[in-house]
Amino acid sequence: MLNSGFYIQILTGLGAIILMTAWIPMVLRKMPLSLPIFCVAVGGALFTMPQLRPFAVHPLQYPVLVERLSELVVVVALMGAGLKIDRLIGLHRWVLTWRLLAIAMPITILLVAALASSLLGLGLAAALLLGSSLAPTDPVLASDVQVGAPGEGEEDEARFALTSEAGLNDGLAFPFVNLAIALAGLSFGTQALEHWLIVDVIWKVLAGVGMGYVIGIGLGFLTFHLPNAAKLSRTGDGFVALGAALLAYGLTQLAHGYGFLAVFVAALCLRHASRDHSYHHRLHAFAEEAERLLMMLMLVLFGGMITHAGLLAHLDVWTILFTALTILVVRPFAGLISLAGLVLPWREKLVISFFGIRGVGTIYYLAFALNQAHFSEAERLWSVAALVVLVSIVLHGITVTPSLQLLDQWQARRQSSQ
């Protein structure tokens, strides 16, 4: 039981962290640092306090809580990502996204799984789980490389590609996570493979897209196209974005589809129901604020897990090599391969390929799979994934601001010379 004094201290500390979460992004805007780095560092420092040390627990001790918290963060982030995309969807307009999804992501899964098997000695199921968990660009921690708020015009090719990829690949990683779960079972034969193809690949993807489209169109009508007195947009309430995200996710999960996919598609449809309406700014602002608060909580806990819960206890030189190759070689290589042949400046190709940030999505997929099936290498999987996420937070967090500033300066010079 928490005594009254300690409870008040927790409330005070939580208030301070929330205020810093609001202020820090303004301070760090032009610095080679990021809010996620700050949150992990604060978590590592806070849990040095003897009173908080018991709360620094390994994910395997509270697997369902870790899964649900990371799930909620991703859902809110996907709604925010979809709401701020100005570009209409289309085969040509979204060609960067389709290439990243259809080419870069499978290559990343395959290469990461191969590295996990050869360098770490993991079995097929565990290696595939690690590959599919580390392949998606995270919609939560990739906010620094995403497009600006609705209608602000900050939508160059690099920012758009990373935003749209992060919105869609979290849902499309699920078939491979489910395949790893199936492989971890006692038997996996032709019947199980057919079930995976029909249910996990075809039905759940179609259900995710279809449910997201129907829900997004319906919410767009209720928000913008009812008679004036009944429009949801008249409320001015930003928390409608949270309701829309949870509704789309919940209904799609009940229909056995991919809820992450549905949330992003629903957000796109809602965004384009009335493209220039000012209410989109309120919806996006609330989604972004909720995302930052939840991300702060998740990463503070992550910092405590790393420093005091033994999350990195199963590390060795091969894990470090695996991490370096995954972040510095595999994703950039897969990204550049997927963008080959496109008329796109090489600087933008490098930014898109390098900033495939790993984060909360990885935590969710790993927690989800470990709650569904038995993987004998569970502790090591957490150590490897945690190191990749930590390195990604630090490396990408330090390099994102100067990289995008250089890209913006180059684009401005190119436009002025034309």
* pLDDT value for 78: 93
Q: How confident is the model at residue 71 (pLDDT cuts 50, 70, 90)?
A: very high
Cβ atoms 160, 147 nearer than 8 A: yes
Higher pLDDT, 254 or 415: 254
User: Per the structure block, which two tokens stand in for 172?
Assistant: 């499309």
Residues in the chain: 418
CA distances from 36 to 21, 296, 302 (A): 10, 7, 10
Q: Name the residue type at position 26.
A: M
Whole-angstrom Cα distance, residue 301 to residue 43? Answer: 6
pTM surpassing 0.75?
A: yes
**Cβ-based neighbours of 279, under 8 Å, separated by 6 or more:** 223, 224, 233, 236
- pLDDT higher than threshold 90 for residue 95: yes
- pLDDT higher than threshold 70 for residue 226: yes
Whole-angstrom Cα distance, residue 80 to residue 85? Answer: 9
Q: Which of 201, 182, 202 is nearest to 190 (CA)?
A: 182
The angle that helices 360-372 and 124-134 make with each other, rounded to 10 degrees, is 150
Whole-angstrom Cα distance, residue 171 to residue 258? Answer: 6
Higher pLDDT, 165 or 141: 165
Percent of the chain topping pLDDT 90 = 45
Neighbours of 360 (CB within 10 A): 27
Q: Name the residue type at position 214.
A: V
DSSP-based three-state secondary structure for 358? coil
Q: How confident is the model at residue 341 (pLDDT cuts 50, 70, 90)?
A: confident
User: Mean pLDDT over residues 88-107, rounded?
Assistant: 92
Residue written as tokens 């190119």? 414
Whole-angstrom Cα distance, residue 207 to residue 389? Answer: 30
Per-residue pLDDT reduced to its tens digit, 284-330: 888 888 888 899 889 999 999 998 888 998 889 999 999 999 999 99
Q: Which of 1, 85, 55 is nearest to 303 (CA)?
A: 55
Residue written as tokens 């897969």? 334
* pLDDT value for 53: 79
Q: Name the residue type at position 185.
A: G
Class of domain 37-143+150-417: mainly alpha
Q: Which of 34, 364, 26, 372 is nearest to 178 (CA)?
A: 372
Cβ atoms 322, 116 nearer than 8 A: yes
> How high does pLDDT run on average in the chain?
87
- pLDDT higher than threshold 90 for residue 122: yes
- pLDDT higher than threshold 60 for residue 229: no
Return the ∠ at Cα 53 (arms to 48 and 55), rounded to 5°: 130
User: Mean pLDDT over residues 112-118, rounded?
Assistant: 96
Q: Is 341 left (phi over 0), alpha (psi -120 to 50) or beta?
A: left
Whole-angstrom Cα distance, residue 171 to residue 209? Answer: 10
Q: Name the residue type at position 100.
A: L
* pLDDT value for 189: 72
* pLDDT value for 57: 86
- pLDDT higher than threshold 90 for residue 369: yes
User: Out of 181-190, 337-346, 347-356, which region has the weakest mean confidence (pLDDT)?
Assistant: 181-190
Helices first, then strands: H and E counts in the chain: 18, 0
CA distances from 299 to 38, 70, 276 (A): 9, 10, 34
Per-residue pLDDT reduced to its tens digit, 194-211: 889 999 999 999 999 999
Residue written as tokens 């909580």? 297
